[in-house]
Amino acid sequence: MTVKKTIFFDIDGTIYDDDKNIPASTREAIAELKRRGHNVAIATGRADYMFGDLREELGINSYVSLNGQYVVYEGKPVYCNPIDKSILEDLTLFAEKLDHPVAYTDTAGMKVNVADHEYIKTSIGSLKLVFPTHDAEYFLKNDTYQSLIFCPQESEAVYIERYPELKFIRWHPLCMDVLPGNGSKANGIAEMLKVLGVEKEEVYAFGDGLNDVEMLGFVGHGIAMGNGEAEAKAAAAYVTKHVSEDGIFEGLKMVGLL
């Protein structure tokens, strides 16, 4: 009899290849996991509205989104962790002085505090998403689960030093995610495991990016993609092939789930 396991998959660079397509072997592997009765979930930096089609396509209703700040199990929210509005306001004012745009993301959408900027076009464009709309005061009226600072890498240290109560995770040469200090995919997964009633030793996770490092080290079986960052590979117990070389399928075979 198969013992039910729980497997989390990152999206970009893990489920999606470089062209934002799902390799056929990945689609088949996830379907087979579900047929065998395992819990399959997503763990992503994306907000809900950015991967609704993907959830429907793969039949996945549980996910850790916004890098752990908003967690849903079987379609029902079970955890949320917004950024403090006063801190976000100070961050916005500081970033404006440096000509660094700021974005505010909740479950329904993303707003930016400037109407147009090349940094936003380049970084958000790499995800093949619609350009966010402009609303400079959005964060004052709504909960922000994840912010973004659009800035070059050489400016990163300034923010890290000034805001020790926040966490900054670089995902693009011109953009980094901003989370509450305790925010991470690992924390979000821990919250879902409380609902599932399982220990992390029975949990597997696939990822490739810097925002996957804590997750890969937290779960019992972390699997880094062959195309992953060096830090992700170092944190993982296993390294599989490139996403475009059947990485997920090969990784699942590696750990005995297929």
Known catalytic residues? 10
Q: Which amino acid is at 120?
A: I
Q: How far is CA 182 from CA 3, 166, 188, 242, in A?
A: 32, 8, 10, 30
SS3 122: helix
Please list, in sequence order, all residues whose beta carbon lies within 8 angstroms of the beta carbon of residue 194, skipping any fewer than 6 positions away.
none
In 3D space, the residue among 12, 7, 4 whose CA is nearest the CA of residue 54 turns out to be 12
Give me the DSSP letters along 151-162: --GGGHHHHHHH
Backbone angles phi, psi at 179, to 5 degrees: -130, 165
State the amino acid at position 107 in one-letter form.
Answer: T
Task: State how far the Cα of 246 lies from the Cα of 256, in Å rounded to an integer.
Answer: 15
How far, rounded to the nearest angstrom, does the alpha carbon of residue 70 sit from its chain's CA centroid? Answer: 10
Q: Where are the beta strands (DSSP E) in 13-142?
A: 39-43, 63-65, 70-73, 76-80, 102-105, 110-112, 133-134
Distance from C-alpha of 202 to C-alpha of 7, rounded to nearest angstrom: 9
Q: Is 187 exposed, middle or buried (0-12, 13-18, 19+ CB in 10 A)?
A: buried
